[in-house]
């Protein structure tokens, strides 16, 4: 079969290309590897995705893993509703979480939790069917204060034909050169969470790349250890107006209640998001369909299972357009 395909192919090539093909085939054949497209499955395990924050307390979603070979993952509901989920602070049990719905577990009603910066937190999950999963200890980070902020209307983006005004936000975060932090930057409004923004070319974070910066679901996370200090002004550009839907003629409205959200996150979140982005950016998801590439490693701090438990200390700044 292979020789017939090569013969048909060579019929359309000149003798020069034929010689080149022989060389390529020779070297390629010396690099052949056998890949097992049906690897042994280690069994269903708990998948724990959890966060502790000063805004939302503790949120934990518990699911279980599935064999990626021979089944469609979306065909089976994988929520775990029978787990015992425990929260520890400095190795002391402080709460057993209540089940809500769709695999989500929350702090019990009437229980007050205020995470303390510098304290260590851990999640333990036990399920009769899927075993036990325990997170590593996660240190709750210090809040990152904003010492200066200014939002200026700079008009529509040149050369795009857009009529929507953009805002240039300049702000300074209170961090020192010797204290590496992981800071998520998000722009929210009353109409939209996680608004798209970009950096102007002269911004200090404009040329950041992994391992200095990763894209998150709502914004981006920067590592201040890559050079951001309290002496540096960070700049973001984003739309401060939007087109009203179903309006005739087209109506341009101002975004309401603009906010800058500064999340101090633990390194576990930064590493997890970075590995997920790498997985997607290298087309590993397509490789899973065809079953041929090297597997990509998704970062996890859950022992006995998969997932991530991280901490977030949030500061919100109201933005007023000048």
Helices (H) then strands (E): counts for the chain: 4, 20
Count CB-CB contacts under 10 A for residue 78. 15
Count CB-CB contacts under 10 A for residue 38. 9
- Between CA 239 and CA 172 the distance in angstroms is 20
Residues 6+ apart with CB under 8 A from 167: 151, 152, 153, 154, 237, 238, 239, 240, 258, 319, 321
Residues 269-310: pLDDT tens digits?
Answer: 999 988 887 666 555 445 555 555 555 678 899 999 999 999
Q: In terms of C-beta density within 10 A (0-12 exposed, 13-18 middle, 19 or more buried), how is residue 182 classed? A: buried
Residues pairing with 313 in the sheet: 264
- Between CA 168 and CA 150 the distance in angstroms is 8
Entry pTM: 0.79
- What is the dihedral angle through the alpha carbons of 125, 130, 131, 133, rounded to the nearest 10 degrees? -40
Beta pairing class for 252-254 and 241-243: antiparallel
Looking at 2.60.40, 2.60.120, 2.30.29, 2.30.30, the CATH number of the domain 46-140 comes to: 2.60.40
Residues 6+ apart with CB under 8 A from 117: 140, 141, 142, 143, 313
Count CB-CB contacts under 10 A for residue 202. 8
Long-range contacts (CB closer than 8 Å, 24 or more residues apart) made by 15-20: none
Query: What pLDDT, on the 0 to 100 scale, is given for residue 16?
Result: 35
Beta pairing class for 241-243 and 98-99: unpaired
Residues 106-155: pLDDT tens digits?
Answer: 999 988 899 999 999 999 999 999 999 999 999 999 999 999 999 999 99
pLDDT > 70? residue 230: yes
Highest mean pLDDT among 1-10, 19-28, 104-113, 258-267: 258-267
- Between CA 69 and CA 44 the distance in angstroms is 13
Residues pairing with 106 in the sheet: 59, 98
Query: What pLDDT, on the 0 to 100 scale, is given for residue 204?
Result: 67
Determine contact, residues 83/127, Cβ cutoff 8 Å.
yes
Q: In terms of C-beta density within 10 A (0-12 exposed, 13-18 middle, 19 or more buried), how is residue 122 classed? A: buried
Residues 54-69: pLDDT tens digits?
Answer: 988 999 999 998 776 6
Residues 176-226: pLDDT tens digits?
Answer: 867 789 999 999 999 999 999 998 877 666 556 557 888 888 899 998 888
Residues 6+ apart with CB under 8 A from 118: 139, 140, 142
pLDDT mean across residues, the chain: 82
Share of the chain above pLDDT 70, in %: 75
Higher pLDDT, 227 or 94: 94
Residues 6+ apart with CB under 8 A from 74: none
């Amino acid at each position: 079969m292979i020789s017939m395909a090569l013969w048909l192919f060579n019929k359309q090539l000149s003798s020069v290309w034929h010689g080149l093909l022989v060389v390529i085939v020779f070297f390629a054949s010396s690099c052949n590897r056998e890949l097992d497209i049906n690897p042994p499955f280690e069994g269903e395990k708990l998948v724990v995705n959890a966060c502790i924050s000063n805004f939302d307390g503790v949120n934990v979603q518990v699911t279980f893993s599935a064999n990626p070979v021979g089944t469609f993952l979306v065909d089976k509901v994988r929520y775990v509703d029978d787990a015992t989920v425990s929260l520890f602070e400095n190795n002391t049990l402080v709460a057993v979480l209540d089940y809500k719905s769709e695999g989500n577990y929350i702090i019990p009603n009437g229980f007050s939790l205020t995470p303390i910066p510098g304290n260590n937190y851990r999640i333990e999950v036990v399920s009769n069917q899927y075993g036990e999963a325990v997170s590593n200890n996660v240190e709750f980070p210090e809040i990152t204060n904003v010492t200066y902020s200014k939002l200026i209307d700079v008009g529509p983006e040149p050369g795009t034909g857009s009529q929507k005004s953009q805002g240039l936000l300049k702000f300074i975060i209170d961090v020192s050169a010797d204290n590496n932090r992981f800071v998520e930057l998000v722009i929210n409004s009353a109409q939209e969470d996680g608004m798209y923004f970009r950096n102007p070319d002269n911004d200090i974070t404009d040329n950041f790349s992994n391992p200095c910066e990763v894209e998150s679901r709502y914004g981006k996370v920067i590592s201040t250890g890559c050079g951001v200090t309290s002496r540096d002004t960070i700049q973001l550009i984003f739309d401060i107006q939007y087109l009203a839907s179903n309006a005739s003629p087209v109506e341009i409205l101002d975004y309401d209640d603009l906010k800058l959200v500064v999340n101090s996150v633990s390194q576990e979140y930064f590493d997890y998001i970075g590995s997920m982005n790498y997985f997607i950016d290298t087309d590993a998801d397509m490789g899973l369909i065809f079953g041929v590439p090297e597997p990509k490693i998704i970062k996890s701090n859950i022992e006995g299972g998969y997932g991530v438990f991280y901490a977030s200390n949030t500061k919100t700044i109201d933005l007023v357009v000048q």
